[in-house]
Structure 1
Amino acid sequence: MSKRIDVSDLNVYYGDFLAVEGVTMAIEPRSVTALIGPSGCGKSTFLRTLNRMHEVIPGAHVEGKAVMDGQDLYAPDVDPVAVRRQVGMVFQRPNPFPTMSIKENVLAGVKLNNKRISKSDANDLVESSLQGANLWNEVKDRLDRPGSGLSGGQQQRLCIARAIAVRPQVLLMDEPCSALDPISTLAIEDLMSELKDDYTIVIVTHNMQQAARVSDRTAFFNIAGTGKPGKLVEMGDTATMFSSPSVQATEDYISGRFG
């Protein structure tokens, strides 16, 4: 299912403001790519361009290309909703729909896409999605209870189950563990290692240890100063980036000397 994404010369604007400039990178299928860098350097903005989520902000637009297995995600005939169906997203804070049960939360994306589904198929999809998110055994006896009644770590895994229920090819995760305790964080990290067998995963993280643990490739973003655009400084295999990066600024950031 997973797809490769090739980004070339991507500029991201909010109105006249250039937020991210000149990003070129290849995001490999069946792998975890980590985006690291100081706050405000465009990591989350760039992440959102991969499923056109940034377009919900008025005036946001891009120049350049993001191509997924030969399909330009920004071609005039491409529906942004169809892109988001293929490229799912998990946000920084767990956001299950508070009035919906655990089961209804898992099925929410499927129903939003106007897919008719039989009761037995829905039950199978709920089970397979929750198993895919390593949550089934913890909630199988309370599927009709509110999703908001789960712990923070369970809520985040519920959001992952909701994302994978629509069968995307790519999963974007914007600091998915920043609001979680260490045990829940470890559960999400273990889950990412399993999910990359089936999905292309891109994660934004401020946790250097997490990037080193879970990612196959790491991209370092930086910014020259307030009001300047964020830029991709370098990208490579995670082991190489953390042991011998080619740019001094990358080493300074990874080692904690700034950022």
Structure 2
Amino acid sequence: MSKRIDVHDLNIYYGDFLAVEGVNINIEPKSVTAFIGPSGCGKSTFLRTLNRMHEVIPRAYVKGQVMLDGDDLYGPGVDPVAVRSHVGMVFQRPNPFPTMSIKDNVLAGVKLNGRKISKSDADALAEQSLRGANLWNEVKDRLNKPGSGLSGGQQQRLCIARAIAVKPDVLLMDEPCSALDPISTLAIEDLIEELKENYTVVIVTHNMQQAARVSDKTAFFNIAGTGKPGHLIEYDDTTTIFNNPKDKQTEDYVSGRFG
């Protein structure tokens, strides 16, 4: 588990519109990388290219390479569904399946991938995944109750448990705390710190304090104006980005002059 991502000259399109231009980035395994930048600069769009979710949108496509330990995710014959089993994703709002139990929510991805699994193995995997998401002790006595009955923060951790149950190499998180209260946010941030021991974690956040707290490296994206493509402006160790950025755009953003 935990693989390196290398992106080369990536251009991201919605039909004829070039949304993000010329991204080159290397993301280290067993680390947390944060994407920051103003709304509309392409950071979430870029995140979705890392597991081929972008092309789910009609007429959306990319040009360039996204390499996972040297394998091009956009190479000929590569199955997007297989890519998503290696590169999991947690979305902005918790989205447990409302009619499913907590346990069935955790195992949903495994079953959708067509894996046959015995009841004892399913029980063990559900417990392992819920422990991995720091949720086991809170739900172990109500595994057969609906996942929708959990609090917002618990639902988000349930979604993380569901993502890691399929044993991905990379975990993408698109603003995972934006809909949560401060206590739930702290729980997710603590969990992110633990997850990097086993996974490559990439997080989009509008909260710069959060990026500073949880990430090892930070990528700053920006956009020149409406209708222009987003660009990766600067990518470095998080302490450098926030304390000694090389580009004035980065300095202006992290110091609160715009955004």
TM-score (norm 1): 1.00
Q: Match of 2:80?
A: 80
Deviation at 1:178, TM superposition (A): 0.2
Say if 2:234 is the partner of 1:239. no
1:106 maps to amino acid: V
Q: Match of 2:20?
A: 20
Say if 2:225 is the partner of 1:225. yes
CA–CA separation in structure 2 for the residues paired with 1:78 and 1:45: 20
2:157 maps to amino acid: R
Q: Match of 2:3?
A: 3
Deviation at 1:240, TM superposition (A): 0.7
Query: In the TM superposition, what are the counterparts of 1:149-228 in structure 2 within 5 Å?
Result: 149-228=149-228
Query: In the TM superposition, what are the counterparts of 1:40-59 in structure 2 within 5 Å?
Result: 40-59=40-59
SS for the counterpart of 2:231 is strand
1:171 maps to amino acid: L
CA–CA separation in structure 1 for the residues paired with 2:115 and 2:50: 24
Write out per-residue CA displacement over residues 133-179 of structure 1, whole angstroms, 9 at most, x where no aligned residue. Answer: 00000000000000000000000000000000000000000000000
2:48 maps to amino acid: R
CA–CA separation in structure 2 for the residues paired with 1:59 and 1:128: 39
2:239 maps to amino acid: A
Deviation at 1:77, TM superposition (A): 1.3
Write out per-residue CA displacement over residues 18-73 of structure 1, whole angstroms, 9 at most, x where no aligned residue. Answer: 00000000011000000000000000000000000011101011001000101000
SS for the counterpart of 1:120 is helix
Q: Match of 1:116?
A: 116
SS for the counterpart of 1:122 is helix
Deviation at 1:206, TM superposition (A): 0.4
CA–CA separation in structure 2 for the residues paired with 1:173 and 1:6: 18
1:203 maps to amino acid: I
Root mean square deviation of aligned Cα: 0.3
Write out per-residue CA displacement over residues 205-230 of structure 1, whole angstroms, 9 at most, x where no aligned residue. Answer: 00010000000000000000000000
SS for the counterpart of 1:110 is helix
Percent identity for Structure 1 against Structure 2: 80
CA–CA separation in structure 1 for the residues paired with 2:98 and 2:17: 35
Q: Match of 2:253?
A: 253
Deviation at 1:79, TM superposition (A): 0.3
CA–CA separation in structure 2 for the residues paired with 1:77 and 1:6: 19
Query: In the TM superposition, what are the counterparts of 1:103-142 in structure 2 within 5 Å?
Result: 103-142=103-142
SS for the counterpart of 2:258 is coil
1:60 maps to amino acid: A
Gaps of 5+ in 1: none
Write out per-residue CA displacement over residues 99-133 of structure 1, whole angstroms, 9 at most, x where no aligned residue. Answer: 00000000000000000000000000000000000
2:110 maps to amino acid: V
CA–CA separation in structure 2 for the residues paired with 1:237 and 1:59: 35
CA–CA separation in structure 2 for the residues paired with 1:181 and 1:251: 28
Say if 2:99 is the partner of 1:99. yes
CA–CA separation in structure 2 for the residues paired with 1:240 and 1:230: 22
CA–CA separation in structure 1 for the residues paired with 2:44 and 2:27: 15
CA–CA separation in structure 1 for the residues paired with 2:62 and 2:202: 19
Gaps of 5+ in 2: none
TM-score (norm 2): 1.00
Q: Match of 2:63?
A: 63
CA–CA separation in structure 2 for the residues paired with 1:8 and 1:70: 12
2:243 maps to amino acid: S
1:164 maps to amino acid: I
